[in-house]
Structure formats: C-alpha cells, structure tokens
Structure 1
Amino acid sequence: MSETALALADAERTDLSDLVDTECYPLEDFNGPRMQDVIGRVQDDLAEDGCAVLRGFMRPAALQRASAEGRELARKTFFSSARVNAWFTRDDPSLGDDDPRRIFMDRTSGFVTRDMIPADMVIQQIYVSPAMKRLVAACIGEDEVFEYADPFAGLVQNVLPPGTSQPWHYDTNEYIVTMMTEKPEVGGEFEYCPNIRSAAGENYDRVGAVIRGEDMATSKTLRLEPGDLQLFKGRYSLHRVTEVGGERERHTAIFAYSQQPGVVGRLERTRQLYGRVSEAHIQAERERVERADGLLD
C-alpha cells in the first residue's frame, strides 16, 4: 500500500498537495498574489450570489480515490423518508393554508456520519487540515473557523440514490462547504435562491412563491462536477437538489465548519437526518441558546 493510502486525518497537516491541485490553488503560498486572487474572487461571489465554486479543486488521482471510498462508504448510509417543510418545523394549524411553513415536501435523506468515516479517507484528511480551515476562513472573511464538536455532523457524506431528491430547505450553519465525489447520470442538480431571507426576516411571501412553483425566476441552477469545491451561504439561501435519475448515485462530502467552537446540531433535526442522537446532542439541547438572528432554523 502506498504512503498516500496510509495517510491519516491529521489536524497538524498543512501540506495538501497530494490531494489538492496546488498549481491552481497554491495553499502553500497562501499570502501570495495567485492565492489571494482566488480568495478575492470567492469573497466577491459569496457577497453577490451567496455561492462560489473552486473548479477542479482536487487532483484527478485523489478524486478517483475519493470516489471509490465514497462508493464503499455508501454501504453504511442511513436513509430516512419524511414530509418536511423548508424549516424542518412541525405543522402549525394556526397558520393559513398558503403559508410556506405549511407546505410539506417528500424528503429522502441518505447520510454517512463522521463517526463512520475512517481517518485515512480523503475527505477526512481534507476536513481536519489547517490548510483547509485557513482557506475557508479567509473566503468567508473570518480569522478562524472550527470543526463541529458534533460527533455526527461535522463531516458527512450525503447519498442520493436514483429516484430521490432534497426538497427546498435551509442549512443550520451560515456557510456550508461541499464537494461532489460521484455525479449521477441524470438530474441531481443544485438549485438555489441567493439570499432570499436575512437576519431581518424570513420573507415568507417570496419564499412561498418559490416553493409553490409560482416564481421560476428567482432560483438559479449550478452544475457541479466531481472535485469542485463549493462554498455556499446555506442559512440565507433557500436551496434544493433535483431528483436523481439513471443508475448512478449522487455522493457529496459536506464539510461543516462553524465560526464558533463547540457547535452541536439540534436534537430533533439530528434524529431526523441520522436516525440516532448521542449524549452530546442531548446535553447540548439542555443548554441550547436561541440563535441571535431569530430565524426559524
């Protein structure tokens, strides 16, 4: 077995040149003009559109390995099906029938959680690397970002088999970082509505028009390729993944970083997505402080 294959996730590892295309993204010369140009472009795209993509972030050999590892990981997937609204909240009969919070959509979720992803796998090595955290922090304008304290949700692989999709929803974290490792033959496209809500309010009228299919102009479609690194403002931009077709699954690594240490996911949402909770989730729920922005999720 090669030295690369034996590499483990290492929180001190700063050299990702065997995994990342450092000719295009020179992480080792972080303050140099080429890398700063990349960061500036990402910041501009996030500010304008809520989304930015680093095309071809991974080296072909590393991507090939990550794809193979992802197919192996997919055997561990926990699947759940539910009727959910965009906020993952329960039905409230006191609201009007046309309120978007009362629009429930079919969701089939497939996830492999971090505790099931071995330390030698490519996505674990990328997730814990200080070079990766430094890149993400710079792109979102922070001095530092942190791995989730959540034992399940910090790093997950999302698995969408043919016939499944993710309906309109928001992310709990302000920013999310993802990388597709397996592309379906048909469908599985990422659609999003940039900054459709804000800390100032939910914008229910416009959100409802999108969810009901009355507004077809607000959403954008992003066509991703395996190995592309996506940074996305998922807390403020409504988004979905269209139905997967063909014979091949859609696999995406989700790298969850937070702007504060110690983040643990909500108890009920964790149970819905992963089929189980840990003592960390139970304790965090006891100590939960509501988000300062006042948004539902």
Structure 2
Amino acid sequence: MSIEEIVQTAEYPLADPSFLDRCKKALDSAGVLVLPDFITSSALEAMQNEATQGQSKAYFCKQSHSVYLTPENPLFGADHPANRQVVSSKGCICDDDVASESPLRALYDARLFRDFVKHVTGESALHPYADGLSSINIHYAERGQELGWHFDNSSFAITLLIQKPDAGSDFEYIKDLRNADAGEMNYDGVAALLDGKTKPKVLNMDPGTLVLFRGRNSIHRVSPNESDKTRMLAVLAYNSEPGIELSESARMTFYGRLS
C-alpha cells in the first residue's frame, strides 16, 4: 500500500513544512502529540484483521517492576518509590510476525513518515532495530491486563491504536514528573501518585489515532482492561543509531525468544 492509502494525507499533509512545525511545537509543549483518524478506514481495517489473526501467536507475560524499570536499590526499603513494584501484563507479537504486505510495515518503512517523525522529534536519523523482533510490535491487553506505571528509557515512543476495548485501558500520564538527565528522580512526586494523592491526565483516543509521546520524564500507564474486547496497539520503534538491538534479557522477558 502507498502512504496515501494508509494515512489521511488531506488532513495530515506529512510533507507540508508548516504542518510539521505545528506538530513539533505541540510535542515540545505538551510532551504528547495526538493525531486522531490518522489512518484511513481501509488501512485500519487491514490492521485490525492482521492483529486479530496474529493474536494466537502472541507471547503473553506478566512482570513486576519499579516505575523506574531498574533493579532493586539496596539503599532503600521495599516501600520506597525506587523499589515499589507495579504489574505489567500483556501479549505481544514481534516484527517478524508482521507481514511484508502489512500497512503497518509500509507505514514504518515509508520515507515520508520517517521524515515526519524526524522533524517532529528533532532526531537527525531513524533506524530500525537490528534484532529482527523489536521494530514493529503489536500489543494485546485482554480483560484485567494492564501496563503499570513507568518511565520510558527511550526519548520518545510512537503508538497506533488498532482496537479499543469497551471499558478501561485508559492511557494516563503526568508530564515531566522527573528529570532523568539531571538525576532528579522526584521520589516524593512518584510516591504521591502511587498513593493516589495525585490525579493523572487521561488521554482519550479511538482506533486509528497515532500518538507520539515523550515518556522518559513523563510517568505513564495503561489502566486494566475492564471488558472482554481486547485492546490492540501497534508500537513503531526506531533508533537514532544503526545496528542497535534490544538486549537479550529484554527480548526474553517481553517476547519469550531471542530471534
């Protein structure tokens, strides 16, 4: 499929410099860029069919982790925000399970889309993962499954909602709750959130919505799915340098295999 068959280019002119500048300004200001109805109805239907057919191959896992995604810190107790555990549970199919003719792959590989992402994020280059599993993932959240509170290790993330459940699975976040580059972890602010004293923002989106999110300093989660309809979400991941692989331990944890 061509990029014009996948993206609503009349509404989202990816080659228009003024549109690119507006998107960059929005991401820089809010830490999140939400583009509703980014995908054409025919491409979205193809993505939904692909995700539904691939669900039986998904690797489902459940992990406990800290919001910082770091090992236990012996300097603090188990109840300290650095060590308090949250739960993430989901299914995932990997890049090598995404068909060569998939509109997801066509979008990921399209130079126009990569140039758009580069401009909006300020990256000088974008490269796929070298491990063959991590560039395009489709995530599944069935009833009760969730993505626990965490900060990302990467500077930005790109997601595309394919199917929305009937209840739950809300994307919640707080912008700039820490400053990782300065080493300021804001344990008090994290504790207030985990204790329910701080209310996060909720990002509402429908299928076909593309989201660029800066999650390195903005804590976020996806609340539990409260319906029998599976949440399906594509994650499009790039690197600023070529030849980067997701670590073997991370691949085994999230995918259950190395290749």
TM-score (norm 1): 0.82
Closer/same/farther in 2, CA of residues 211 and 269 from structure 1, 3 Å limit: farther
User: Percent identity among equivalent residues?
Assistant: 28
Matches within 5 A, 1:1-297: 4=1, 15-27=2-14, 30=15, 35-198=16-179, 199-201=181-183, 202-216=185-199, 219-278=200-259
**Is residue 146–residue 257 contact of structure 1 (8 Å, CA) maintained in 2?**
yes
Structure 1 gaps, min length 5: 5-14, 279-297
Query: SS of the counterpart of 1:23?
Result: coil
CA positional deviation for 1:93: 4.0
Counterpart Cα distance in 1 of 2:39 and 2:165? 19
CA positional deviation for 1:184: 0.5
Closer/same/farther in 2, CA of residues 93 and 144 from structure 1, 3 Å limit: closer
Greater shift, 62-71 or 37-46, is seen at 37-46
Residues 111-143 of structure 1 show CA distances to partners (whole Å, capped at 9, x for unaligned) of 111111111111111111111111100111233
CA positional deviation for 1:211: 2.4
Greater shift, 252-261 or 205-214, is seen at 205-214
Counterpart Cα distance in 1 of 2:8 and 2:167? 27
Greater shift, 176-185 or 83-92, is seen at 83-92
Query: SS of the counterpart of 1:244?
Result: coil
CA positional deviation for 1:38: 2.6
Counterpart Cα distance in 2 of 1:111 and 1:16? 25
TM-score (norm 2): 0.93
Q: Which residue of 2 aligns with 1:291?
A: none
Counterpart Cα distance in 2 of 1:187 and 1:153? 26
Between 1 and 2, higher relative CO (CA 8 Å, sep ≥ 6) is seen in: 2
Residues 215-244 of structure 1 show CA distances to partners (whole Å, capped at 9, x for unaligned) of 22xx21101111111001122211100111
Q: Which residue identity does 2:194 align to in structure 1?
A: I
Query: SS of the counterpart of 2:133?
Result: coil
Structure 2 gaps, min length 5: none
